[in-house]
Amino acid sequence: MTNSTFDIIVIGGGPGGYVAAIRAAQLGFKVAVIEKHSNLGGTCLNVGCIPSKALLYSTELYHTIAHKAASNGIIVKGLSPDLPALMTKKNQVVDQLRNGIKALLKANKIDVIHASAQIISPTQVKAGNNVLNTKNIIIATGSQVIELPFLKFDGKIVVSSDDAIAFDSIPEKIVVVGAGAIGLELGSVWSRLGSDVTIVELLPRVAITFDHEISKMAERIFKKQGIKFELDAKVTGIKTKAKTTILTAEKAGKELEFPADKIIVCVGRKPFTEGLGLENLGIERDKQGRIVTDNHFKTNVPGIFAIGDVTDGPMLAHKAEEEGVALAELIAGKSGHVNYTIIPNVIYTDPELASVGISEQEAKEQGLQVKIGKFPFAANGRALASDASEGMVKVIADAKNDKLLGVQIIGRHASELIAPAVAHMEYGGSAEDLARTIAAHPTLAETLKEAALALDGRAIHAI
Ligand SMILES: Cc1cc2nc3c(=O)[nH]c(=O)nc-3n(C[C@H](O)[C@H](O)[C@H](O)COP(=O)(O)OP(=O)(O)OC[C@H]3O[C@@H](n4cnc5c(N)ncnc54)[C@H](O)[C@@H]3O)c2cc1C
């Protein structure tokens, strides 16, 4: 491998990196991916999106059978979770996808090198003992969990999401720090399996990036499911009392105590750039440590680009993937582009939360005159027939020209229902376009249409 020459070297085999590599290979470039782990797929496949969704699916199945089977006329006896089998299923899904990515890169004739990469110059990357030459470098090194200084990870009691997707027994008491997407998803997984889960959050609402009404509804529903919340509470540290670990927090001047077998810290992620040698090259980073790029993903050093979690913007796999595609196309002289205003955001709890564009509150902050249309899942036949009556759709449109500005959904399959809203917004659609789109009956998709109709008081199935 010594002195190999490539058109593009991609550092990092996560969704940003491997997707950029495939698109670049499709465009005729000679490409190498350098990945320090023995598996491709990055955070998303190995410890993120996919394992968490496998656990969410298995535990939702268990929870549904436990709580809904009888009322649907199905008698189940002797129901219990089998944690090792549940984890095996999750690992099989992850393995299958790892092999899939490996096969895709091979089919696209992309060289994969498993080593830690260090950038020596804009045209040279060190991978282990080899120095590779290249015309372009794409940094896609992703992110890592944030550790709180007064709550250090010990891998046993105080853990990150990396550990919380692989506990080998069901903890009795769990405290989750952070009510964002990862905290809510992991809290749901373990609560469904029987753990007593409390989520402690510094901010006044759960799922803070969502519309206030949606996040309030989510809190109410999750509480009904048995998850406890302590909002507006600032975690201060841990202490031990009679051999029990206790998380401490401060709320309205009072100290709160939460005994815990596991404390899952989900307070966000930070860009990962260690060992890349950015300092030697003078590659600019912002205060949060993110690599600074222009709108063509260029760093301040010509020939070096960055995409995904290591750069500004939402830390989402589909954002990283889109950037990978756009960048490969830009390097090929095409007009690659990412529409950052229309990136869907999802929390995969039950019900799911999904949004695109701006919320009612954000529209008001921007001084926009908006019209709002809402429709409850409780008025949808398919939702009632499938025990999915908790939820609502909220459509936000510009009051002057009816242009769709945002859609917020809480409800079953919200992650899928948001897709047509994304498409309408991508084409610059109006609420009227959404209202006139025919949804099959009976489907949950009718809620989207009815919410758009509700904008002008025309929803058919609303009183
Ligand atoms: C529990 C959890 C659940 C999540 N769920 C979702 C979800 O449902 N939907 C969603 O969109 N996002 C989700 N995310 C976020 C998503 O995983 C990230 O946004 C996504 O993985 C970012 O992709 P990336 O390619 O930028 O970086 P990463 O996936 O982090 O990949 C970076 C890769 O670079 C490698 N690397 C780093 N430095 C070097 C080096 N010097 N040399 C060689 N290799 C290097 C790393 O080993 C890693 O494999 C979740 C994250 C977590 C933790």
Is 422 within the bounds of a domain? yes
At which of 247, 267, 287 does a domain end? 267
Give CA separation, 53 vs 46, 59, 89, 238, 411, in Å: 12, 10, 11, 30, 16
Atom 48 of ligand 1, residue of closest alpha carbon: 42
Crossing angle between the packed helical segments 49-68 and 83-107, to the nearest 10 degrees: 140
Is 90 within the bounds of a domain? yes
**Could you tell me if the CB of 309 is within 6 A of ligand 1?**
yes
Ligand 1 centroid – CA 273 distance (Å): 12
How far apart CA 250 and CA 237 sit, in angstroms, is: 10
**Could you tell me if the CB of 272 is within 6 A of ligand 1?**
yes
**Could you tell me if the CB of 110 is within 6 A of ligand 1?**
no
Mutation to probe ligand 1, out of 35, 43, 90, 159 (largest number of atoms < 8 A from CB)? 43
Residues 334 and 395 in one domain: no
Encode pLDDT of 154-204 as tens digits.
Answer: 999 999 999 999 999 999 999 999 999 999 999 999 999 999 999 999 999
Q: How confident is the model at residue 2 (pLDDT cuts 50, 70, 90)?
A: very low
* pLDDT at residue number 4: 77
pTM metric for this prediction: 0.97
**Could you tell me if the CB of 320 is within 6 A of ligand 1?**
yes
**Could you tell me if the CB of 11 is within 6 A of ligand 1?**
yes
Is 326 within the bounds of a domain? yes
Contact 246, 258 (CB under 8 A): yes
Is 151 within the bounds of a domain? no
Residues 413 and 429 in one domain: yes
What atom in ligand 1 is closest to the CA of residue 186?
A: 1
**Could you tell me if the CB of 271 is within 6 A of ligand 1?**
no
Residues 282 and 253 in one domain: no
Fill in the amino acid letter for 393. V
**Could you tell me if the CB of 383 is within 6 A of ligand 1?**
no
Contact 368, 381 (CB under 8 A): no
**Could you tell me if the CB of 39 is within 6 A of ligand 1?**
no
What atom in ligand 1 is closest to the CA of residue 49?
A: 5
**Quick check: 68 pLDDT over 70?**
yes
Residues 199 and 218 in one domain: yes
Give CA separation, 50 vs 2, 94, 265, 312, 413, in Å: 35, 7, 19, 23, 17
Residues 91 and 200 in one domain: no
Encode pLDDT of 222-281 as tens digits.
Answer: 999 999 999 999 999 999 999 999 999 999 999 999 999 999 999 999 999 999 999 999
Residues 189 and 318 in one domain: no
Ligand 1 centroid – CA 11 distance (Å): 12
Question: Which residue in the list 37, 67, 296, 441 is annotated as catalytic?
Answer: 441
Q: Which residues contact 40 (CB under 8 A, 6 or more apart)?
A: 13, 18, 33, 98, 101, 102, 105, 112
**Could you tell me if the CB of 41 is within 6 A of ligand 1?**
no
Ligand 1 centroid – CA 152 distance (Å): 22
Atom 2 of ligand 1, residue of closest alpha carbon: 48
Residues 216 and 298 in one domain: no
Residues 388 and 300 in one domain: no
Average of per-residue pLDDT across 314-329: 98
How far apart CA 14 and CA 229 sit, in angstroms, is: 33
Encode pLDDT of 413-428 as tens digits.
Answer: 999 999 999 999 999 9
Residue percentage of the chain with pLDDT more than 70: 99
Fill in the amino acid letter for 386. S
Average of per-residue pLDDT across 80-95: 98
Is 299 within the bounds of a domain? yes
**Could you tell me if the CB of 315 is within 6 A of ligand 1?**
yes
At which of 312, 338, 364 does a domain end? 338
Ligand 1 centroid – CA 419 distance (Å): 23
At which of 234, 249, 267 does a domain end? 267
Mutation to probe ligand 1, out of 19, 141, 159, 270 (largest number of atoms < 8 A from CB)? 141
Mutation to probe ligand 1, out of 9, 44, 161 (largest number of atoms < 8 A from CB)? 44
**Could you tell me if the CB of 267 is within 6 A of ligand 1?**
no
Atom 33 of ligand 1, residue of closest alpha carbon: 12
Average of per-residue pLDDT across 378-406: 98
DSSP conformational letter for 291: B
Per-residue buried b or exposed e for 361-397, using 16+ beta carbons within 10 Å of the residue's own CB: ebbeeeebebbbbbbbbebbebbeeeebbbbbbbbbb
Q: Verify whether residue 337 is a known catalytic residue.
A: no
Domain with 373 in it: 342-454
Is 462 within the bounds of a domain? no
What atom in ligand 1 is closest to the CA of residue 41?
A: 49
Average of per-residue pLDDT across 17-42: 98
Ligand 1 centroid – CA 255 distance (Å): 36
How far apart CA 372 and CA 87 sit, in angstroms, is: 43
What's the total number of domains in the chain? Answer: 3
CATH number of residue 84's parent domain = 3.50.50.60
DSSP-derived 3-state class of residue 455: coil
What atom in ligand 1 is closest to the CA of residue 143?
A: 30
Is 214 within the bounds of a domain? yes
Atom 9 of ligand 1, residue of closest alpha carbon: 49
Residue percentage of the chain with pLDDT more than 90: 98
**Could you tell me if the CB of 117 is within 6 A of ligand 1?**
yes
Residues 75 and 187 in one domain: no
CATH number of residue 352's parent domain = 3.30.390.30
Is 149 within the bounds of a domain? no
Ligand 1 centroid – CA 44 distance (Å): 5
Residues 176 and 113 in one domain: no
Residues 32 and 71 in one domain: yes
Task: Please count the CA atoms within 13 angstroms of the CA of 365 that sit on its side-chain side.
Answer: 6
Residues 115 and 213 in one domain: no
* pLDDT at residue number 463: 80
Residue in the block written with tokens 């919410």: 451
